Structure 1
Amino acid sequence: MRQSDNKGHIQQLESILDSVPVAVLYCEPFLDHEKVTDFRYIWGNNMAHELLTLNPAQVQEMTMLRLYPALVTNGIFDRYVQVYQTGESQRFEREYPIGTQLRWVEVSVSKKYDGLLITALDITDSKHRQHILEQKGMLRRINQRLEGLRAIDQALLSPRSTDQSPLLMAMRHINAMVPCERLTVFWIDESKGIATAECRLAEGVLEANPGVSFSTHYLLDLAQPMGQATYFPVMRPDTAGIPPELGLYGRGFRSLVVLPLFLRQKCIGAFTLLSVVPNFFANEHLEIAQEVASQLAIVLSQQHLDEQINHYTEQLELRVAERTREITQLSAMQQAILEHAGQAILSTDIHGVIQTANQACEKLLGYTAEELIGRVSHIEFTSADDPIPLISYRQTESSGPASDFFQLALASQGYFYSECLAIDKTGNAIPILLATSILQDNEHNLIGYVGIATDISALKAARTNLAEKDQELKTFFEGALDMHCIIRSDGSIQKVNQAWEMTLGYSAEELVSVSLIDLVHPAEQASVARNLRDIIPHHPIRCQINQFRKKDGTYRVVEWNAVGVNKIIYASARDITERQEAMTQLQKLNQRLQLATQAVGQGIWEDDLANNRLFWDQRLWAIHGFEHEQPDWSLTKYMEIIHPDDLPSFLNNSHLRVEGNVISNVARIFRPDGVIRYVESKGLLIRDARGNPVQGLGVAWDVTERIEAEIALRESEQRFRQIAENVDEVFWIYSADPYQLLYVNPAYERIWGCSSQALYENPASFLDAVLAEDRPLAVAFLQRMQSGQEVEVQYRITGSQPGHRWVSVRSFIKWDDNGKPLRYIGIANDITSQKEKEIVLQQTLDRELELNKLKSQFVSTASHEFRTPLMTIQSSVDLIRWYINHPAATTHSSILSHLNIIQKEIQNFGDLLSDMLTIGKIDAGKTVFQPYWMDMLEVCRQVIATHFSQQGRTIQIRVFGTPGKVFADAKLIGHVLVNLLSNAVKFSIDGVKLFLTFQKSQVTIQVIDDGIGIPEADLPSLFQAFFRARNTTGIHGTGLGLVIARQFVELHRGSLTIESQEGQGTTARVILPNELST
């Protein structure tokens, strides 16, 4: 019946397994000398047969390798063997050819009984769905990658579309695709052999020029093959090829990618990626880095080219500015010549339109310079019989052609020199001697003409009245302020006027007897001789400057013009020594001013208040953020860029409201790029005769860093005061020279109990609070500090609290650049609690030493106490052995006697061990303390009845007060009573008393005897382990009973005291705190 039931159950189980969608197989191994060679198919469900594509009859008694020989090559058979041998189950996924299809199967193998149970689940559909999801995820990542690369391309290829560096923008996009902790782009400086970081993205923060560099040989070693990334998946402290100066491992990084950046087959830099995770970078990350490397190299190179172009542009602007200054100086010199020359000087363009005219023209022609400029010079001949040209100045250009003779002379000779008639403003014809020359630019192109006219009206009048006019001419010649002379082309002087005599100190006769060349400075003689010989005879020279020697040997600077007529040279000169010196000084002053303002970063401004025009130099435009000069710049426009909050202060200190001539202002301005800068300006006002300001001159410079530093300093000082005034330590600062207190925080008054003001008035007043015996330490501290030592000292002060306080004082010294003390800084801490802890610690240490001493004594005494009974026992054993070997009539009683001795010593030895174990438990804190409300009187009676009723001794009990229950541990109290009563009985003959006194707050137990008592000298040592009074020799005892009793009493928060006199008895008193029960 049982077999049929089992068979039915098995059939039901097989039916259930046949219906599940999981293939189930069971097989047993073939063993050859305990080695598995194959597995035999035992049973499988329908799903297993379907997967095997065989019917049940075909697979019965088949082996696994016959069914699937590939199990050996694909390693599955080894897995089966391993499961069978180890008993550990395995699970894996494999793709199998089932029929004409490849199917994914999840296989589980486990050992059951003496075979393997194999289950297989077809997961082909889930694998297909997983593959589709992976493809979608891959497409999504590819799209994200393409979008990131497109954003990087836009950032790199459009660098000027934003103010931010294209490299920095690209780094952020790269980091979105490669989410590592740090990305850095390096530039190689071949001249220095250093690779320097151009930009970095560290933990999401972009940095330009972060200041990181390393030697290029590390990078160049990694640059082969070109463009390939070097990957360090797991960095170690000693990984080769990584620059140690970067300290990457010490900063927590564990994986590194280095990608050299090449441009035109040359390594110009590197792109690095860092992560704190080992093996962080996947192949996709490396591909992204390689894809952006070429763009990074191009933009990195372009960025450096832009920097070079900016540098060259700045140099060019400096050269242009220098050339502009030279032109300005030359223009000033030309203007000075025009203003001071005695001849009328006009310049025209190539069409004859007057461009400039000096003041002498006004005297000659009656026109002002402003009236002449813009008119057209017209030359014509009045008639064929009169060859003197007639020059007029008209509003518009004449329709008729100019004189051919005039044009021919200018074209052939480059100048025209002739007597002419000039029509003045009133229409009168003024005879002049005109010298006209052409003007050319640096490429010798004709740009205009210049004419020098000398009024020869007097000369013409002299023709009609020679004598009179000759005298007039002589008077004019001699009385002229300018130096006039007539010389030959060889330099010999024919005639000079008095101005020569007054200027050089020679007489006219002395001058006529020498050559003009001899009067010139030796270094300039050759040039002057060439002019006289070769140049002046052909065309005049003007504005020639040379040094002429005076009679006293000194030299004067002379500016002269000369023209040659009929081999005679007429020269007009003027002493410009003072003017030249002034100009030289002015030039030097201007150069020094320019250098000084450039050195300190200042710009120069000029405010034309009359015309509301504001003029700046290039430096000032740059300070305010303008790339170019702004047209029609004025103070009104300038005030538009001043911060509104600073405008009232600016106006109060401007020319509009100041009473003096000094202007000083500091104001915030808005630059065109939106940046706010602080600008400080200083200047002087120039006023007219009425006292009204007409002009302002001054300098201005950017003081943003200084103002921000001052603000930061004030904030730092505020924070310092907030910290210093709220800490518990005393903080003070003394100046070195003179020695005086600069600052002390409020903690001084709290700790010292003295006024801070008194310390400011007398820096040594803090010594008044120092204890007299510690004051020399404090004085020595000050002396050593002032000698340049950093000192630490501890001393006591009376302080603001009762009793003295301990303070620890330390000093620090701030030195100046010359190594001399500048400030003495000190900190004082109240260490009273620390000192008190040190005292407690010392006391604890002393107690520990005492305990160690007691322990040593305990070991020594315990060794003795153990050895004594053992020796007694050994001796008795030896005697008993002897008695046994020598039988006699008396040996039996002797053996019994020694056996009694052994029994007694064993009992004593047991008492000793019990006491020592009890002390050990007490020291280890393992004593069981279980108090409860107990009847103290009943406990005392039980102790007496149990331990002392057999000894034939009477113990008298007396009770005082009302007996009640006591909260105590009856076992421990019983041990205390046994010990005290045993001592009383042992050391007395009779008369032991036990007194119990019950009070409201305590219970007192007194054990009184009239025995031998205790010597007074031994009383302090009674509670030391193994101590016994000197009068107890011969009386058994361990010296541990009182020690144990006292410990048990103290567990009850009570006390045990002994009062005794030698020969008169002893009283042991136990006091236990208690609340009496009702």
Structure 2
Amino acid sequence: MQNECAAFDYVPLVVYRCIQRGIDRKFEFVTPYVYSLLNLTPEQLIHDSKVFFCRIHPEDRNMFLRGWENHTHLPATIRLEYRMLGEGNRVIWVQENSVMSQGSIENEIVCHGALIEIPDHQQIKEELQRWDRELQSLTDNLPDIIGRFDRKNRVMYLNRWWDSVEPFPPEKYLGKQLIELGVSQKVAGIFEKKIQSVCEKGISDSLEISHPTKQGLKNFEIRFCPEPTIGGQILTVLLICRDVTDVRMAELAFRESDEKFRQLAEVVDSVFWIWDVDLQQIVYVSPAYKRLWGGDPQKLMSNPFDWLTIVFQEDQSKVENLFLKRIDVKCLDIEYRIVTRHDELRWVHNRTFPVKDSLGRIHRVIGIAQDVTERKKWEEERLRGAKLESLGLLAGGLAHDFNNLLTAILGQLSLAKFTLDSSSPLFNRISEAEHASLRAQDIARQLLTFSKGGAPVKKTVLLQEIIKENVQLVLSGSNVRPIFTIADDLWPVTIDAGQICQVIHNLVINARQAMEEGGECTIQAHNVKGDMVERSDFGQMTLHDPEWIEIRFMDKGVGISNENLEKIFDPYFTTKSTGSGLGLATSYSIVRNHGGVLAVNSAVGEGSTFSLFLPATPLPEMAYEVPEKRVKMGQGKILIMDDEIQIRKVLGEMVETCGYSYQTAKDGEEALRDFCEAWEIGSPFSAVILDLTVPGGLGGKEVLSRLLTIDPQVKAIVVSGYSNDPVLANYQEYGFKGRVAKPFNLVDLSVVLHSVLE
């Protein structure tokens, strides 16, 4: 026995014999290895029955005591695992295996056993338990459905099911088939086929299904993964089921948004593009880049600055400099010109908008290049319009002053002419001077037409001499010869002669410029009926009046292209380097204000024909006005109001020459005062002549409105240097009985006075 015990001295375990009484363990024998394990000698354990219990970890002492209690049947085998405290309170896991038997004394328990250190076993056990807890927590909290199926399609594990977010207890699924869990026969069949396929092939597989839930129809993405054993057998299949409803809806929304963006990008006339800051290249450009600009998108993708070749040469350096320096830094807002594939120069407004990522870093730049050619044209037209308006105001003022001077000149000439016999040599000279002054009057009228336009001051006239005189005036000294074909029975027209003369000038100038090498300009004028016009080359026009006169201006010049024909009457449109683009536009406006039509036919290389249609005034309907050549005499007292002293003087002399007495007033207040005084003393004026415009005071229109409150039967004649003023054109609407446009001569004034008073 002693030799057998000596053999345990070399074995790495503690063998002992003891009597166990609660916390007392009286060792009778213990091997020396106890010192290596617990830093206690066998003698210490034999002499102190409590020292062993004191070395048990405090947390494990109750478990140790329970292990030795209530063993009614002896002998009994005890197997315990607990912690003990070694040297320096080092925790040591031990496994104790002991046999309990009845001792020689009653109630004495004798134990024979062994202690062995298990340094890794418990740690592995705890680690496995920890892994189990973490795995359980993971599967319980994952939004995905995790399941395990055996080869017979039985459920071995499920963390949750379709409609529940709570853990699924094993008693509800363990060993059941899918159809028992509420899955339709069709879906269950699909799952079972996938499980069998994965078991046989050992390769993961997936599918996507739509399945009804309490929250409605949802999309699920399901993966089937094989779980091979150590020997390579596949006994179970792992199922991972993920709700992808929101993902699919987002993908659908993205596709719809992308489709809308694509449709918008394809139809919009602006070029939309995206610049990637990291790649330093354009990653998208809309179809308008090719469709409208004529650029090559493929070249642009490989060379992000290929679009600069389309930029107008004068703008390239400025545009390139701005884009290279600032595109990745801040917003750009720049306008420049491009040359399209049709060699057309267009204005572009290019703006950029940086897009930042979650870190606030600019990672993309979105740009839009909009064609603003029409806006640029409008801005240029507005600028031109402002300049023309200023020039028009100047022209109007000049024309007004010019007409006042001409009135004084014509008045004095007509007075001098009235005192001479027609056989006098001076009579002819004065007549020539008077004729020259009347020509100057036409210039003043053109200035007024240019300055304001306005309603035409119409008279019924014959056009034969007007056409010839104005055509010859324009072509005088040029290498273009006029050829006239004018009907002798040309109907009269009711027109503003000055404005129609301006139209004739513009059309003849256009013909002369079209024939730089010289040639013939044919002018035809004849009467036409409305239905004849509709059957002519200009049948697209709608003419409401039954009788018209047509004047054609035909040249054999370079002609006008179809493209330019559509814009020939647009303001500022011109094909001439020095042209203003106003001549034909002004002519078109004048003719339209006369109720007429201006049309054109042309062919490149063959020449052009401009046709002017004016409503006729046939003789049976209205006799045209035959210019009066004699002074009309009369009697009465005339009140003259004009702010120019020269005009007051010459008007007074002219009125007096016609047999009337007169009184003058320099402004509206004085005229009202003189009129009231004469009215109160019972010697009223027979007529009043009122200048329409008085700077800084009451003009003729305002004075007349007050005179009518005093004498509703007052006979007033309006006089103005603005011969195309609406008041002059529609004088009767304002209460005037007659009108005289400056400049005028003695005969003109006498005729109006006579018609008003008689």
| TM value normalised by structure 1 | 0.37
Q: RCO greater where, 1 or 2, for CA within 8 Å and sep 6 or more?
A: 2
Which is higher, the Rg of structure 1 or of structure 2? 1
| TM value normalised by structure 2 | 0.50
